Amino acid sequence: MKKMYIVKHQYDFDRIIKKGYKNKNDIFIVYSMQNNLNYARYGISVGKKLGNAVYRNRKKRQIRSIIDNFEKDYVNNKDYIIILREKGKNLDYQTLNQKLKSLIMKERTKNEKAK
């Protein structure tokens, strides 16, 4: 994932969480909001309650890998904040991949129906 595709600033996180649309399942919470760019940006959050820094960074790398794999199929101009929940703590990569893809695709179909 290139640096330009990352939501980095705290004020962006806060704005997207307060004003964006929320989708969730038992493992992830995904907030999304339109941006004025020609590409999607992603912000990933793994809380301190889930583990130490090594563990949290590992989960963030896994989520970035999932995003890189399916980003080619789904291009839009939105900002996404992806938050890993406590139930996703001990899950393997394949399960995380399946759950995140289904949640993003659910949000995608909801937006297409609204148009």
Mean pLDDT by 10 residues, the chain (115 residues): 79 93 91 88 92 93 89 75 91 91 78 59
Strands 78-84 and 41-46: parallel
How do the domains of the chain map onto residue ranges?
Answer: 3-105
What's the pLDDT at 77?
83
Give yes or no for a contact between 63 and 12, defined as CB atoms under 8 angstroms apart: no
- CA 61-63-67 angle, 5° bins: 115
Q: Which two tokens stand for residue 8?
A: 């980095």
Residue 98 corresponds to which tokens in the numbers above? Answer: 């399946």
CATH node for 3-105 = 3.30.230.10
Q: What per-residue confidence (pLDDT) applies to 74?
A: 62
- Confidence (pLDDT) at 106: 80
CA 86 to chain CA centroid, nearest Å: 15
- Nearest CA to 13 among 53, 54, 41, 48? 41
Which letter does DSSP use for residue 73 in this model? Answer: T
Q: What's the pLDDT at 1?
A: 60
